[in-house]
Amino acid sequence: MNVGGWHAAAARIFVCVAVAIACCLAGCAVVTTNVATIGKPFHEFSFNLLKDSPYTDVLDYRYGGNGSCEVCANPRRVFQGELFHQTGVGTWMSKGEYLYVKWRDNRTGDVYEDRVDLRSRLPKKMDQKTVYFVPKGAVLYVYVIWPIDGHQYPPGELEHSYIGRKYVRIYPDSLGANH
């Protein structure tokens, strides 16, 4: 019996099961991609309130375009009133035309929502980039994060997430990231 082979196989199974369990427990996002990924850029959509806005709960979110939702909060969980604090999805998907977020500031109890038109704000090429949002108080901030490129960028507004990465705030008060 090849013990090393058995241990390696067991380790691969353990990792697969752990990833599956993590995905089930997270269960935050529903990714609606179809088989036709040709022409769709591989990019990410994420948020992490645990790091960037700990006094906030996201109640619902949607990132999409062309009449579809590429990444959405699980509708069943939204209906049940569950809260979302982080998610991260990377896949081949259409560049979003809009971002909708509904959130609650737990310090005041106030609920806010915003729908951002992303058509003129996102870069022309979204390959390997990340759409990232942070709700703080009554304001929703939206960023585009570039992939790691070997340079060390100062943290600026995103002092907890994506440290050292290039990013541009595209909402509010920005002309967009069309570079």
Q: Domains of the chain: which residue ranges? A: 28-171
Q: What is the mean pLDDT of residues 121-129?
A: 94
- Provide the pLDDT confidence category of residue 153 given band limits of 50, 70 and 90: confident
Cα–Cα distance between 42 and 127 in angstroms, integer? 5
**pLDDT band at 155; cut points 50, 70, 90:** confident
Proportion of the chain above pLDDT 70, given as a percent:
75
From the list 80, 102, 77, the residue with the least C-alpha distance to 25 is 77
Average pLDDT over residues 118-138: 95
Question: Are the CB atoms for 103 and 113 separated by under 8 Å?
Answer: yes
Angle at the Cα of 97 from the Cα atoms of 41 and 136, rounded to 5 degrees: 105
Nearest by Cα to 132 from 78, 175, 90: 90
Two tokens, residue 12:
């691969």
Residue type, 164: G
User: Greater confidence, 65 or 4?
Assistant: 65
Give the integer Cα–Cα distance in Å for 68 and 16: 30
At residue 19, the pLDDT reads 41
Using alpha carbons, list the distances in angstroms from residue 29 to 45, 73, 76, 102. Answer: 10, 5, 11, 15
Chain segment 64-107, per-residue pLDDT in tens: 987 788 899 999 999 999 999 999 999 999 899 999 999 999 99
State the average pLDDT over residues 24-49: 67
Among the residue ranges 5-19, 42-56, 89-103, 106-120, the one predicted with the least confidence is 5-19
